[in-house]
């Protein structure tokens, strides 16, 4: 799947082994939350980076203590209208101080890219051809003036002294 | 009124550009109707039975004369010369071409209006008391808070894909004219023992197929915590609200299934964690927004008006208007006027372009250029000198806008029903029209007194039948429309859900049935001052059921 990060498409160097497949001997691996919980010690003992893939309905409580040891969290949108990943992203960034890659996967569409980035996602894994093309060709038309601060770590400027107003610098 | 600055203007123009791009992708076929649907809904565009419908936001029901004139112009240029004011203080145009929508949005933007979040599973247009800033019984003006909520909720990155739509209402008076207890969040301005402003917070009210009265989860929320607390409620709902069944996805179901105490505890825990993380609401920002809603420059007037008293004495038609459509104002010598959009035999809430322009002119001359839209589908002139009331009455009469029926039997709320709506199971507007014809006699209406009839054309209850003193729900069985009557509902501070009185009535029978209910009330009330609702609460439904069904037994 194409991976969009920092304003362009990049090579994805993460491996996503299915839950019933053995872990690859080497490489950066991201596993489901269930597998992470079951094989936590083995995973954390690996020398390479570890990530967790969350479903929209997952909660963060049982991985909160390990977040600083994760280099990737991917959250899957089962369909674009399921807004739970936005709240999970906010909690990860604002409450738990998660600063590593936060990736949106699943039903990632061009019309939701701005809220995804503002909620704290910094990598997108779209499968929708129109979205991929629009990102390639920088044809995303979106609002850049916002009435709420974005998640912690998102770079936006305050245009005036009113506390909730922000402007996106540009769509990356 | 709130006035856009450069930031607000740019925001709306960018949203139009974004939507224009979405419309072009739909028209070019890049987007299927299924893919386009949630995008158009986010901007108030519905596909109805016969055409696209555009729902325009009128934040907290406040309009200027200039804005109302532009709405009239859009009605002429892009619709069939009229518009429909809704129970959410919005305006709907029912005959719109999709390709025209971006152009209409630009016309709206020229007078600081938009259609953002008038549909979709997001925080909808925030509503407020239509007498805000004018009512004699007001503690504080709710509109600054509604405006802050409007801004904060606009394209909110976290709360744009909620389990279901989300409606917030704010009132600043103890008498609830905004039906806050049947909203997802109902905010009631209050003062604590030290005189500080804050809110009573009600959550989980709603109508639809599962009507519920909101639970009070906070007796006093300090003003500065408004956004943080709403953010906490929304976050709990976004994460925990049901997404498996559209009809169980509103927050009222979550509150009900979780239990009010446990839900409140979850909100409080999230709120405690959120403080410090979220956008603050500092006093200078509250003051900045509140300044937009400063009272207009009222002249110092004596409380009594000779011109008013004289007209009351000389003109029985004016006296009737004054008795129903003129309401107490907080400033001596002034009054609030209800402009009835419920003349006999017309769809409730409809106004022609000419009528909109007439109201705009009258408001400009007599009401500081300000108009309100009520959730009861009328317009309001909030700030009229009592001396000017006879002239206002004359001008409204000329435009056929002076029906003296505010709060009476013909002041009916009705959804568009099967004449327009793709969800409807029965017609509702024709029932409303026939009822107004049956009760057209003004003496009879005034003799009956306060009575709210509300009609919905399907169980989604857009016509608020659950909180009608007499509610009418239109359903369909074997291809035939029939109408269920509920009694005893109320949308104000004495909020109650009406009870179904018995089996339904055919379209041919329903008007007679309502008349039977009203005649029964007239026969059993203690005194003319005992309203229908008070009498119903005293005697219960038995006498009404008997009158309605005895003949059939």
Residue A108 sits in a domain whose CATH number is: 3.20.20.70
Q: Is A94 on the interface with B (CB under 8 A)?
A: yes
The b-or-e profile of A132-148 (16+ CB within 10 A means b, else e) is: bebbeeeeebbbbbbbb
Every domain of chain B and the residues it spans? 6-109, 134-290, 306-398, 413-552
- Do domains B6-109 and B134-290 share one topology? The answer is no
Which residue from A87, A111, A162 is facing B158, i.e. has the nearest CB? A87
Residue A127 lies in a domain: yes
CB B126 within 8 A of CB B152: no
CA distance B532 to B538: 10
Q: Give the chain B residue whose CA is nearest to the CA of A94.
A: B277
Using DSSP's 3-state secondary structure scheme, residue B368 falls into coil
CB within 8 Å: B151 and A114: no
Give the pLDDT score at A172. Answer: 57
Residue B385, token pair as written in the block: 């000198």
So what's the ipTM on this one?
0.97
Residue A18 lies in a domain: yes
Q: A 2-41 residues with CB below 8 A of B?
A: none
Which residue from B7, B121, B227 is facing A165, i.e. has the nearest CB? B7
Question: Would you identify the CATH topology of the domain B6-109?
Answer: Sulfite Reductase Hemoprotein; domain 2 (3.90.480)
Q: Which CATH number is associated with domain B306-398?
A: 3.90.480.20
CB within 8 Å: B151 and A150: no
- List, in sequence order, the alpha helices (H) in B386-439: 389-398, 429-438
Residue A32, token pair as written in the block: 């489901």
Q: Can you state the percent helix, strand and coil of chain B, rounding each to 5? A: 40, 20, 40
Partners of B288 on chain A (C-beta within 8 Å) are 162
Which residue from B38, B152, B277 is facing A95, i.e. has the nearest CB? B277
CB atoms closer than 10 angstroms to residue B434: 15
Give the pLDDT score at B31. Answer: 87
- List, in sequence order, the alpha helices (H) in B425-480: 429-438, 442-448
Q: Which of B491, B501, B492 is nearest to B539 (CA)?
A: B501
Residue A111 lies in a domain: yes
Question: What does each C-alpha distance from B463 to A139, B169, B515 come to in angstroms?
Answer: 42, 17, 20
CA distance B362 to B338: 13
CA distance A84 to A78: 10
Out of A92-101, A111-120, B39-48, least confident range: B39-48
CB A171 within 8 A of CB A142: yes
Partners of A80 on chain B (C-beta within 8 Å) are 38, 161
Give the pLDDT score at B84. Answer: 95
CB B436 within 8 A of CB B450: no
Report helix angle B389-398 to B316-325, nearest 10: 100
Residue A81 lies in a domain: yes
Which domain range does residue A60 map to?
A: 3-141
Length of chain B counted residue by residue:
553
CB within 8 Å: B282 and A163: yes
Give the pLDDT score at B552. Answer: 62
Chain A nearest-CA distance from B53, in A, is: 22
CB within 8 Å: B280 and A118: no
- Strand partners of residue B474: B483
Q: What is the pTM of this model?
A: 0.96
| B441-467 residue pLDDT tens | 999 999 999 999 999 999 999 999 999
Q: Is A118 on the interface with B (CB under 8 A)?
A: yes
DSSP 8-state class, residue B123? B
CB within 8 Å: B156 and A80: no
Complete DSSP assignment for B186-222: EEEEEE-TT--EEEEEEE--B-TTS-BPPEEEEEEEE
- CATH number belonging to the domain at B413-552, selected among 3.40.1160.10, 3.30.413.10, 3.40.50.1000, 3.90.1170.50: 3.30.413.10
CA distance B172 to B175: 9
CB B293 within 8 A of CB B143: yes
Chain centroid offset of residue B185 CA? 14
The b-or-e profile of B363-374 (16+ CB within 10 A means b, else e) is: bbebbbbbbbbb
Using DSSP's 3-state secondary structure scheme, residue B106 falls into helix
- CATH number belonging to the domain at B134-290, selected among 3.90.79.10, 3.30.460.10, 3.40.50.300, 3.30.413.10: 3.30.413.10
Residue A153 lies in a domain: no
* Half-sphere exposure (Cβ direction) of B242: Cα atoms closer than 13 Å: 15
Segments of chain B scoring below 70 in pLDDT: 279-280, 551-553
CA distance B351 to A91: 47
Mean of per-residue pLDDT scores for chain A: 95
CB B116 within 8 A of CB B155: yes
Q: Is A171 on the interface with B (CB under 8 A)?
A: no
Question: What does each C-alpha distance from B377 to A59, B70, B422, B525 come to in angstroms?
Answer: 44, 19, 21, 28
CB within 8 Å: A164 and B151: yes
Residue A167 lies in a domain: no
In total, how many domains does chain A have? 1
CA distance A25 to A15: 11
DSSP 8-state class, residue A94? I
Residue B40, token pair as written in the block: 């158009």
CB atoms closer than 10 angstroms to residue B282: 13
- Which of A85, A86, A142, A171 should be substituted to probe chain B, the one whose Cβ sees the most B Cβ atoms within 10 Å? A86
Q: Is A164 on the interface with B (CB under 8 A)?
A: yes
Give the pLDDT score at B60. Answer: 97
Residue A136 lies in a domain: yes
Partners of B30 on chain A (C-beta within 8 Å) are 130
| B176-192 residue pLDDT tens | 999 999 999 999 999 99
Q: Is A90 on the interface with B (CB under 8 A)?
A: yes
Residue A105 lies in a domain: yes
Residue B405, token pair as written in the block: 């029926």
Using DSSP's 3-state secondary structure scheme, residue B137 falls into coil
Question: Does A55 have pLDDT greater than 90?
Answer: yes
Ramachandran quadrant class, A139 (left: phi over 0; alpha: psi -120 to 50; beta: rest): alpha
Mean of per-residue pLDDT scores for chain B: 96
Chain A nearest-CA distance from B101, in A, is: 17
Chain A nearest-CA distance from B496, in A, is: 33
């Amino acid at each position: 799947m194409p991976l969009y990060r920092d304003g362009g498409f990049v090579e994805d160097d993460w491996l996503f082994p299915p839950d019933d497949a053995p872990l690859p001997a080497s490489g950066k691996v991201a596993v489901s939350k269930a597998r992470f919980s079951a094989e936590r010690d083995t995973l954390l003992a690996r020398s390479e980076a570890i990530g967790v893939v969350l479903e929209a309905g997952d909660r963060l409580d049982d991985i909160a203590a390990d977040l600083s040891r994760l280099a990737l969290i991917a959250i899957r949108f089962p369909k674009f209208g399921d807004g739970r990943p936005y709240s999970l992203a906010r909690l990860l960034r604002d409450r738990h101080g998660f600063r590593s890659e936060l990736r949106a996967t699943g039903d990632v569409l061009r019309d939701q890219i701005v809220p995804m980035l503002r909620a704290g996602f910094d990598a997108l894994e779209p499968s929708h051809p129109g979205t991929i093309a629009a990102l390639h060709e920088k044809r995303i038309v979106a609002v850049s003036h916002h009435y709420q601060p974005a998640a912690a770590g998102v770079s936006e400027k305050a245009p005036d002294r009113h506390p909730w107003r922000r402007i996106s610098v540009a769509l990356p | 009124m709130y006035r856009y600055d450069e930031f607000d203007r740019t925001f709306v123009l960018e949203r139009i550009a974004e939507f224009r791009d979405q419309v072009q992708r739909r028209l070019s076929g890049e987007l299927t109707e299924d893919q386009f649907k949630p995008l158009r809904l986010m901007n108030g565009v519905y596909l109805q039975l016969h055409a696209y419908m555009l729902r325009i936001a009128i934040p907290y029901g406040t309009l200027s004369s200039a804005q109302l004139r532009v709405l009239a112009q859009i009605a002429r240029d892009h619709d069939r010369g009229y518009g429909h004011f809704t129970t959410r203080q919005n305006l709907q145009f029912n005959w719109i071409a999709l390709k025209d929508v971006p152009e209409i949005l630009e016309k709206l933007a020229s007078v600081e209006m938009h259609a953002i979040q008038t549909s979709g599973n997001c925080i909808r247009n925030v509503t407020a008391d239509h007498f805000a800033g004018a009512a004699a019984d007001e503690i504080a003006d709710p509109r600054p808070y509604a405006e802050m909520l409007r801004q904060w909720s606009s394209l909110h990155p976290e709360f744009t894909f909620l389990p279901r739509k989300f409606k917030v209402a704010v009132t600043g008076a103890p008498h609830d004219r905004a039906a806050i207890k049947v909203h997802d969040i109902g905010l009631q301005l209050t003062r604590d023992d030290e005189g500080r402003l804050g809110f009573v917070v009600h959550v989980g009210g709603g109508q639809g197929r599962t009507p519920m009265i909101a639970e009070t989860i906070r007796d006093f929320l300090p003003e500065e915590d408004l956004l943080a607390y709403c953010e906490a409620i929304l976050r709990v709902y976004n994460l925990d609200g049901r997404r498996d069944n559209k009809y169980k996805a509103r927050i009222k179901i979550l509150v009900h299934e979780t239990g009010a105490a446990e839900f409140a505890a979850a909100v409080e825990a999230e709120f405690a964690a959120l403080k410090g993380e979220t956008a603050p609401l500092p006093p200078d920002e509250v003051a900045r927004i509140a300044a937009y809603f400063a009272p207009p420059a009222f002249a110092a007037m004596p409380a009594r008006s000779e011109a008013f008293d004289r007209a009351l004495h000389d003109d029985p038609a004016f006296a009737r208007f004054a008795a129903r459509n003129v309401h107490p104002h907080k400033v001596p010598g002034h009054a609030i006027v209800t402009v009835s959009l419920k003349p006999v035999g017309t769809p409730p809430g409809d106004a022609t372009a000419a009528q909109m322009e007439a109201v705009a002119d009258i408001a400009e001359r007599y009401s500081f250029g300000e108009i309100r839209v009520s959730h009861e589908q009328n317009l309001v002139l909030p700030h009229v000198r009592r001396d000017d009331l006879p002239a206002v009455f004359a001008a409204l009469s000329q435009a056929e806008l002076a029906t003296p029926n505010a709060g009476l039997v013909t002041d009916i709320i009705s959804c568009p029903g099967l004449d327009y709506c793709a969800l409807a199971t029965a017609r509702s507007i024709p029932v409303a029209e026939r009822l107004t014809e049956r009760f057209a006699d003004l003496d009879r209406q005034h003799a009956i007194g306060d009575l709210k009839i509300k009609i919905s054309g399907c169980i989604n209850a857009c016509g608020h039948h659950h909180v009608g003193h007499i509610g009418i729900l239109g359903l369909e069985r074997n291809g035939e429309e029939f109408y269920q009557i509920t009694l005893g509902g109320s949308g104000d501070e004495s909020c109650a859900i009406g009870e179904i009185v018995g089996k339904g009535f055919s379209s041919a029978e329903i008007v007679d049935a309502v008349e039977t209910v009203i005649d029964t009330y007239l026969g059993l009330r203690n005194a003319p001052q005992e309203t229908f609702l008070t009498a119903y609460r005293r005697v219960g439904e038995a006498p009404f059921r008997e009158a309605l069904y005895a003949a059939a037994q």
